[in-house]
């Protein structure tokens, strides 16, 4: 993945990055700068839920504020319809289909640790 390419960061990659896990070292060269980082609103939802539960509301607010400085991609009809197609075609769960559809709609790479994306086009999959 080129460093100046637009990128959708999946919730799994955000979490690894935020907790500075052993796996996060693989992210350092791949995590996009804010100007190239696309954040689907469904990822904001998933991050907020996880962060509030695991790290507290203050940390959640801080991270969501950071994501708002990135390129926020709301769930619009064209992305929803593309997500429905990917749900059928690739058997993705709804949230995953939305994330992948957002990446495809934005002509961006998807950065993820989730294996169910591993064989899909335009995905940078990092194995745990």
In tens digits, the chain (128 residues) has pLDDT values of 444 689 999 999 999 999 988 888 878 789 999 999 999 999 999 999 999 999 999 999 999 999 999 999 999 999 999 999 999 999 999 999 999 999 999 999 999 999 999 999 999 999 88
pTM score, whole prediction: 0.93
Residue 68 DSSP class? T
- The residue among 29, 13, 9 whose CA lies nearest residue 99 is 9
Residue 36 DSSP class? G
Distance of alpha carbon 52 from alpha carbon 87, whole angstroms: 28
List, in sequence order, every residue forming a beta bridge with 104; answer none if it has no partner.
none
């Amino acid at each position: 993945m080129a460093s100046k390419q637009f990128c959708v960061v999946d919730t799994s990659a955000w979490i690894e990055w935020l907790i500075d896990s052993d796996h996060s070292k693989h992210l350092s060269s791949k995590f996009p700068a804010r100007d190239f980082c696309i954040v689907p609103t469904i990822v904001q939802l998933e991050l907020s839920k996880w962060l509030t539960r695991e790290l507290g509301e203050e940390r959640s607010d801080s991270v969501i504020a950071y994501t708002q400085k990135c390129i926020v991609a709301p769930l619009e009809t064209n992305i929803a319809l593309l997500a429905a197609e990917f749900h059928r075609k690739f058997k993705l769960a709804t949230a995953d289909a939305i994330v992948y559809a957002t990446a495809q709609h934005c002509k961006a790479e998807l950065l993820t640790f989730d294996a169910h994306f591993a064989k899909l086009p335009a995905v940078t999959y990092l194995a745990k």
